[in-house]
Amino acid sequence: MKDLRLDLDLQILTCEHLYLQGAGTDEHALIEILVTRSNEEIQAMNAAYRNAYKKSLEEAIHSDTSGHFCRILVSLVQGAREEGPADVERACEDAQELADVCNAESDDMEMKFMSILCTRSFPHLRRVFQEFVKCTNKDIEQIIKKEMSGDVKNAFYGIVRSVKNQPSYFSDRLYKAMKGLGTDDRALIRIMVSRSEVDLFNIRKEFKETHDVSLHEFIQVETMIGDTSGDYRKTLLILCGGED
C-alpha cells in the first residue's frame, strides 16, 4: 500500500497546480484534476489548499471563474460524488432526462448535464452513457462537442472521457502536453508524477495503441525538440518506466 504521507504530499503538490491567479488560471489543469480524482483525494486537496492559502478552494474558484463553468467546478470540488455500482433503473431515467433536454432546445441543458455528470458514480455514469445511445442513437461525446463550447464543453468532455476510460484520457493529455511548439511542462510533470504509482502502465498501453509510438520514445523525441533536456528528461523517462 502506498505510504499515506507520500499520498498527502501528492495532494499538496496537486493543490499547488490548482492555485488560481487571475489571468493565469489553468482551466485545463482544473478540469483534469477535478474530473479524475476520488472524493477522498479532492477532500485532501481542499484541506491542503486551505492550509496553504488560508481560503477555501471553492472561494478561489468563485473568484476566478464564472457562469456554468464555475458551477461545474464548484460541484466537483465538493468531493461528494456518489459511490457504488450502477442503478440500472435510475440510469435509464438519467439517460432519458439527458436525451429530453438535448431535444428541447432549452437553456437548461448545461444544468441538467451538471446535475447528473457531476454527481453520479463512475460505474453508474458508464451505464447512463450506454442507455443514452439507446435513447438517441448518438454518443454523448457527440452531443457535448456539437451543442456546447469553451470551458463548459471541455469540462463535460473531460468527465465523459475519464468515466469511459481514464488511462486513455490521460494518454491524450500527455500527447497534447508534448506535441507541437513547446512543451507544457506543468501538465507533463503533473500527470507523470501523479499517475506514476497509480495507472501509468495502463496509460502507456493506451498511448501506444492510440499514437502508434511508445510513451517512452515520444518523451525522448518530443522533449529533445522542445526545451526539455538533461536530468529533467532522464527523470521523465525513469517515471515512465521503460520502453513498450
User: What are the pLDDT digits (tens) for 56-91?
Assistant: 989 989 988 899 999 999 999 999 999 999 999 999
Q: What is the pLDDT of residue 13?
A: 54
Rounded to an integer, what distance in angstroms lies between the CA atom of residue 59 and that of residue 153?
23
For residue 153, is it within any domain?
A: no
Q: In terms of domains, do 129 and 186 share one?
A: no
- 193, part of any domain: yes
Q: Which helix (H) or strand (E) holds 122?
A: helix 122-136
- Residue 24 has a pLDDT of 55
CATH of the domain at 52: 1.10.220.10
DSSP letter, residue 227: S
Q: pTM value?
A: 0.88
Q: Does residue 161 lie within any of the structural domains?
A: no
Structural domain boundaries, residue 128: 88-148
Angle at 239 between CA 237 and CA 241, to 5 degrees: 75
Joined together, the cell numbers standing for residue 22 give 487571475
Q: Does residue 155 form part of some domain?
A: no
Is residue 125 in a domain? yes
Domain count, the chain: 3
